[in-house]
A and B are shown apart, each in its own frame.
Chain A
Amino acid sequence: MHAIKRIGDVVTVAAAWLAGLAVVVMMCHVTADVASRLLMGKPLPGTIVLVANYYMVLIVCLPLAFVERLDQHIAVDVVTDRLSVRLRLRLRAAAWLFSAAVFALLTYAAWLEAVDKFARKAFVIEHDLALPIWYSYFALPLGCGLLSLYLLGKFVGYIAGPAVNDRDPARLSEQENSAHD
């Protein structure tokens, strides 16, 4: 169980670092494009396609599981904060399972789309350049699939008991506090 958790963590963090790399490369690329346009009157070819279809897709999709790991997916706490810790934890677990199912569905749909684009070798033409974009379609099922598995892991951890996932109320409120900081 611990080995699976560790593998999950490593993959989640690796995917997040790719997204981080995309942030930095996107900044450099767009800045270079502006400099080239202003100084030499000629923008870099393919900037818009690379930004939209590659950097953005990577930044949005790949960190989804990492965001869950930090408990940073936005949710409404007002109502549940008034419940007992035990009930709150049960609701959290139910929400993990529910979200895991939702993102599994999204993974399935996004996978169908990616396979479709792969079969057609989808590309975009910018000026005279044909830029393949089908690769980037796989980022969405990858990111959503990871998130779904991560959520499922959290749920299984809850069901499997305190040995894997702390069910101690004090630890829960500690966790929640650190998530709010």
Chain B
Amino acid sequence: MTDPQIASLLLLVLLGLLALRVPIGAALIAVPFVGIWLLFGWRPAIGALKGIPYNFAASWQLSSVPMFLFLGFVAYNAGLTKGLFRAAQVWLARLPGGLAVASIFGAAGFASITGSSVACAAAMGRIAIPEMLRNGYSHGLATGSVAAAGTVGALIPPSILLIVFGIVAQVPIGDLFLGGLVAGVLSILAYVVVALVWAMVLPSAVPRVTEAFTLKEKLATLRDVAPLLILAVLIFGGMFTGVFTPTEAGAVGSALCIVIAALYRSLSWSAFRVSVVETFVTTAAIFIIAIGANLLGRFVTLSGMDGYLSSLILSVATNEFLLLGAIVLIYLLLGMFLDPMGAMLLTMPILLPVAFQAELNFLWFGVFVVKLLEIGLITPPIGLNVFVIKNVVGASIPLETIFRGVTAFLVADLLVVALLVMFPEMITALPSLLR
């Protein structure tokens, strides 16, 4: 057997371990270690274990991950994000499908302060779905709109997935955030169109809200969300104009968020403590996988498997559209079984060399991959966001109804993906314009 063949075999072992529910981190550390040991001996194998994990953890750039996580957790646990849906509701309720549109905008607002889709869907689901059901919305639209809208959490900055992609693929995180912002806004608009069309085609399933709000009430809701939105604009404005690095944006954002929550008297000691615990638990859980993925990347390069697999994939996918079609398929399939971070880290060592050989723009590729991973959150059989929504609504709405409700939004998602493929400049233009 040649080195790349042994390496490919070990990749299958890795998939087997994952299927047997070995934690992704442990499997990702074990397989490359055994691989390097088999191909090159004990010393290089131990050498990789000695050097890579510490050097990966001790990273200034990756330090933005815990800081942005902390910002999101503090904002949520202190209840600062509560007003987002209410504000959108008051301003948009009179549109056809207005509550669904409001929950989509609410999710967008939440996404601008948190970097995780699942958190976004959970937070918005708890507030928006009961309101839609109370107003007689069809179960499919009420749950589907929130499950789908939650997926913009990882596109609109901050985005933990985009930060990690940026480190692995060596793309500036600020550029990725701008690209993600474009893809996120595009997705939001597509979801809003779906909600509007749904309301117009099936008016009986989406009753008009007759409740009218005075201008005073409308302005009052802005007071609740203004600090959060100003904070988001300040942090990301500062980041995109080069005043802050991503880590600084996350840290200053967290500090300001704590000050705002203290001024609003909404940050209890227990909310603060929960935010701290959630921050380091999530960070450690992500990093142990990322360290494993880094080891896998080293092994893939050392064994020559990157060239082997790239030429294999490129010999089948002979033009760019076939290649992109194959990548879409790979991520949609993986997204059905793996969580986005695991799926991304697992595939990067193999697909980045392919993308490099196919001369794809890495900035565009990163946003494209994250969009695909986010779609994986709402596709059956395993759609994490759909499960989160199911958790929120309990036994009253079956899982199938939520998946059915998501379908229309999935069509919109595939159209967004097609747009990204046809007009890649949409993603790449903004960062170069601002530079």
Verify B60–A52 contact, CB threshold 8 A: yes
Which of A73-81, A155-163, A164-172 contacts the other chain?
A73-81
Residue A113 lies at the interface, judged by CB distance under 8 Å to chain B: yes
User: Taking the complex as formed, is B222 at the interface, i.e. its CB lies under 8 A from any CB of chain A?
Assistant: no
| B29 close to A (CB within 8 Å) | yes
| Secondary structure class of chain B's binding surface, majority of residues | helix
Contact assessment for A63 and B281 in the assembled complex, using a CB-CB cutoff below 8 Å? yes
* CB-contacts of B45-62 with A (<8 A): 46, 49-51, 53-54, 57-60, 62
Binds A, one of B153-161, B248-256, B312-320, B415-423: B248-256
Chain A contact patch, size range = 35 or more
Q: A52-B58, A102-B29, A112-B46 are in contact. Are A94 and B53 (CB under 8 A)?
A: no
Contact with B along A62-105 (1 / 0, CB 8 A): 11101100101111111110000000100110110011001101
Contact of A76 among B19, B46, B54, B254 (CB under 8 A): B19
Across the interface, name the chain A residue whose C-beta is closest to B59: A52
B20 surroundings in chain A (CB, below 8 A): 79-80, 91, 94-95
Tell me if A60 and B252 are in contact (CB < 8 A): no
Question: Which residue of chain A lies nearest to B56 when distances are taken between CB atoms in the complex?
Answer: A60
A109–B55 Cα distance when bound, in Å, is 13
> Cβ of B284 and Cβ of A24 under 8 Å apart?
no
Q: Which of B24-73 contact A (CB under 8 A)?
A: 24-26, 29-30, 33, 46, 49-51, 53-54, 57-60, 62-63, 66-67, 70
> B10 at interface (Cβ–Cβ under 8 A)?
no
A106 to B30, alpha carbons, bound, how many Å?
9
Residue of B nearest to A71 (CB): B23
Interface string of B337-367 (1 = CB under 8 A from A): 1110110000000000000000000000000
B134 contacts across to A, CB distance below 8 A: none
Select one of A28, A55, A78, A79 contacting B63, CB under 8 A.
A55
Report whether A109 and B50 are in contact in the complex, using a CB–CB cutoff of 8 Å: yes
Q: Is B280 an interface residue (CB 8 A)?
A: yes
Instruction: Tell which of B102-110, B186-194, B285-293, B405-413 binds the partner.
Output: B285-293
CA distance A98 to B277 in the complex (A): 27
Q: Does B247 contact A (CB under 8 A)?
A: yes
Measured between C-beta atoms, what is the minimum distance from B431 to chain A in Å? 23
Query: Would A19 and B23 count as touching, CB distance under 8 A?
Result: no
Given known A-B contacts A51-B60, A60-B57, A76-B338, A27 and B30 have beta carbons under 8 A apart: no
| B74 nearest CB across to chain A (Å) | 10
Nearest-Cβ distance from residue A158 to partner chain B, whole angstroms: 14
A26 touches B24 (CB 8 A): no
Q: Does B21 contact A (CB under 8 A)?
A: yes
Closest chain B residue, CB of each to CB of A22: B280
Q: Which residues of chain B come closer than 8 Å to A79, judged between CB atoms?
A: 19-21
- Please state if A102 and B280 are interface contacts (CB–CB under 8 Å): no
With a cutoff of 8 Å between Cβ atoms, the chain A residues found around residue B58 in the complex are 52-53, 56-57, 133, 136
Q: Which residues of A contact B (CB under 8 A)?
A: 16, 19-20, 22-24, 26-31, 33-34, 38, 48, 51-53, 55-57, 59-64, 66-67, 70, 72-80, 88, 91-92, 94-95, 98-99, 102-103, 105-106, 109-110, 112-113, 116, 133, 136-137, 140, 180-181
B residues with a Cβ closer than 8 A to A are: 17-26, 29-30, 33, 46, 49-51, 53-54, 57-60, 62-63, 66-67, 70, 243-244, 247-248, 251-252, 254-255, 276-277, 279-281, 283-285, 287-289, 337-339, 341-342, 381-382, 391
- Pairs across A and B, CB under 8 Å, 7 listed: A27-B67, A57-B54, A63-B280, A74-B342, A76-B21, A76-B337, A105-B49
